[in-house]
Structure 1
């Protein structure tokens, strides 16, 4: 096996730091869940360190489908991650990361492109350098687009187009927000994707004021040091501009032969620092997924849809920078979805009569998921990065838990009154001849 010093010509300069990091691993960590935030020459850097042997690292760039300059360009840019750079071929990058036992991945959401690396703690410098190369040195070659990026886009579009629940949720976002947050995360067409539009979008997105470096399981001082060294050539800039999100509501119906799904949605809460935790509690009150094996569960959706054969109904709350969406997605046979949709609307209306005991239970479930997620280093980095880019501060798990614990019955009922008094969003996908209209379910759109 090659020695680590032979992996990259740039690596020997950081080997002297490895022994210091090893010594620090055994040290007691005062608050392993606390994220520290600093500015590294214009780039926001945040980390938490529990002294463990592995690290999760992410570069969060405010460049999701909400901000794209042409349809599909955000999807194409995300898929160009870890392709050839002016310093390394994609094959070399792959072999080097595997030699170190690391993994590399990328993802796209409504608001962000996220580059991720998971690796052994001592190899932080190498992976900061590798992720930094994606930002500033990717070649965006036509042959890699044709042979790799385009094929991956087609594969993900195929999966999306064959999943009715995915189509329903995307359609609901489009109905709710129109442009911006309503733009699909998959490239529905490649018409606008070429060797000009993709690198041009990269140049607007991968800028100092538009990214955050987030690490879980890494010393803050070390992360700042290597960010300054390996991301020194990230250009200045604050990223693409966008208009504030506006909720519209309404109804849309999409025919597809691949399955049937309904999405019912309402305005929710924006993310940190203006997050309203009662909307998360509402999602847990509605529920839909049982926490006990072989049981239907006791949440409102579980109870109201019990006995409707082949139907799945799940509620979630999605928080964005300046908006949110509380949504229920119901999947199943077309013949059963009118009954299931009626049951879901009944569950929503029953929120007005929720009891303090039910709120307490929902808070406990939400707290568990928050704490379980923070223990997994690879989860939650996007949320942290998004908040840091937007406000310059990281949401702390202690504050999140405290916020959930502070949710009162009155706060929940006030949120319920708000969503029931406004316009709903409704999307029906599948055999639309059989699927109900919003008014048949008693929804005001």
Structure 2
């Protein structure tokens, strides 16, 4: 993980608009890390599931190397790579021995510029992999409930499903077209950990990163938000209930303070798992309290108490230190009270045991 106190240094000599930053290792190590962040290519940025398929298609056949060769060469050099998706971005990551930095810069650059998106690879590799990730995540009630909360709070954009769920069909041409539109010099940022900045900048200049196409500057669409709505999914097993509200970037500190207040004052759960958090995104955030338990009555009691705390309008000033610690950023300038009149609610499990949103 990156240290919260580490300072990134930025290189300005990279061609086009590719950003390069470095951060020191948190401990002496022979292992380095490169992260390539493709901004605004996450699940919010395309039709449901398509960005996840684009991420899952990374590190397959490129023009110069097969996916098998990429994997074998990486393993022989003591390295590994992976791709992942967030609501904002697609992230490619490589971990490797420090002396092999040039090879992995070239590999990552080629993956962005040369991936072929072959039909059989989509069918035989990317689709099964993305479907497995989706199934594994959605089988966890807390994740499923949080996905429902995103859906009702934002509807589109940040309300899109994080993973490919099979509800839509896409071709390899669809994936390739999305990748082409998303991967531009302006959208790519490279972050190196435990690498020499001058070396990284030089290798990037000599790699395929320097040939990324320029993108067009576009005005970001405002993320619409909704409150006072709910979703209830009946399902056997553990019950999860999540309450929350969409939050503008300017309100993030205030709601981080509210999250600290709720977590400190909510009654101790007996068998339940409780999470109080502000999920931060580029265009908006989502404050939420999630409760999961095999005891649906306990979920009901805890989520009801959490709603009362959120709506109490209490003085939060005593919780600023805790909020700063939990969120990793200072909230010293946040207002001491937060007014919340309407909540959103998502329930997965024994929906009969949990109150409706207008009853909280």
TM-score of the two chains, using structure 1 as the length reference: 0.73
What CA deviation, in whole Å up to 9, does each residue of 1:230-256 have, x standing for no partner? 112211114887521122122222222
Indicate which of 123, 131, 141 corresponds to 1:146. Answer: 123
Per the alignment, residue 321 of structure 1 pairs with 282
Q: Is the 8 A contact 1:210 1:239 kept in 2?
A: no
Per the alignment, residue 49 of structure 1 pairs with 24
What SS does the corresponding residue of 2:238 show, helix, strand or coil?
coil
Q: Is the 8 A contact 1:268 1:318 kept in 2?
A: no
Indicate which of 91, 101, 104 corresponds to 1:114. Answer: 91
Indicate which of 296, 300, 313 corresponds to 1:338. Answer: 300
What SS does the corresponding residue of 2:111 show, helix, strand or coil?
helix
Displacement, 1:60? 0.5
Flag structure 1 segments of 5+ consecutive residues without an equivalent.
1-31, 288-298, 371-399
Displacement, 1:123? 1.6
Per the alignment, residue 282 of structure 1 pairs with 258
Per the alignment, residue 187 of structure 1 pairs with 164
Displacement, 1:137? 0.9
Taking a change above 3 Å as real, the CA distance of residues 278 and 209 of structure 1, as seen in their structure-2 partners, is same
Structure having the larger proportion of residues in helix = 1
The farther-off stretch of 215-224 and 45-54 is 45-54
TM-score of the two chains, using structure 2 as the length reference: 0.89
Indicate which of 217, 222, 228 corresponds to 1:244. Answer: 222
Displacement, 1:175? 1.0
Q: Distance in 1 between matches of 2:149 and 2:354?
A: 15
What SS does the corresponding residue of 2:206 show, helix, strand or coil?
helix
What CA deviation, in whole Å up to 9, does each residue of 1:110-146 have, x standing for no partner? 1100000112222211111111111111111111111
What CA deviation, in whole Å up to 9, does each residue of 1:180-236 have, x standing for no partner? 010011112263311210000000011111111111222222222111211122111
Displacement, 1:77? 0.5
Indicate which of 152, 174, 177 corresponds to 1:200. Answer: 177
Q: Distance in 2 between matches of 1:64 and 1:349?
A: 32
Q: Residues 37-436 of structure 1 correspond to what in structure 2 (within 5 A)?
A: 37-39=10-12, 40-42=14-16, 43-49=18-24, 52-62=29-39, 63-68=41-46, 70-189=47-166, 191-230=168-207, 231-238=209-216, 242-249=220-227, 250-270=229-249, 276-287=252-263, 299-301=264-266, 304=267, 306=268, 308-332=269-293, 333-349=295-311, 352-354=314-316, 356=318, 358-363=319-324, 365-366=325-326, 370=328, 400=329, 404=330, 407-408=332-333, 411-414=334-337, 416-417=338-339, 420-421=340-341, 423-436=342-355
Q: Residues 31-42 of structure 1 correspond to what in structure 2 (within 5 A)?
A: 33-39=6-12, 40-42=14-16
What SS does the corresponding residue of 1:352 show, helix, strand or coil?
coil
Q: Is the 8 A contact 1:206 1:239 kept in 2?
A: no
Q: Distance in 2 between matches of 1:160 and 1:196?
A: 27
Structure having the larger proportion of residues in strand = 2
What CA deviation, in whole Å up to 9, does each residue of 1:331-374 have, x standing for no partner? 11323322121122233245613452x333443x337xx4xxxx
Taking a change above 3 Å as real, the CA distance of residues 155 and 216 of structure 1, as seen in their structure-2 partners, is same
Taking a change above 3 Å as real, the CA distance of residues 215 and 315 of structure 1, as seen in their structure-2 partners, is same
Q: Distance in 2 between matches of 1:135 and 1:261?
A: 39
Q: Is the 8 A contact 2:36 2:188 kept in 1?
A: yes
Q: Is the 8 A contact 1:261 1:430 kept in 2?
A: yes
Q: Is the 8 A contact 1:269 1:275 kept in 2?
A: yes
Per the alignment, residue 375 of structure 1 pairs with none
Alignment RMSD? 2.4
Q: Is the 8 A contact 1:36 1:48 kept in 2?
A: yes
Q: Distance in 2 between matches of 1:76 and 1:159?
A: 16
Displacement, 1:93? 1.1
Aligned length: 349
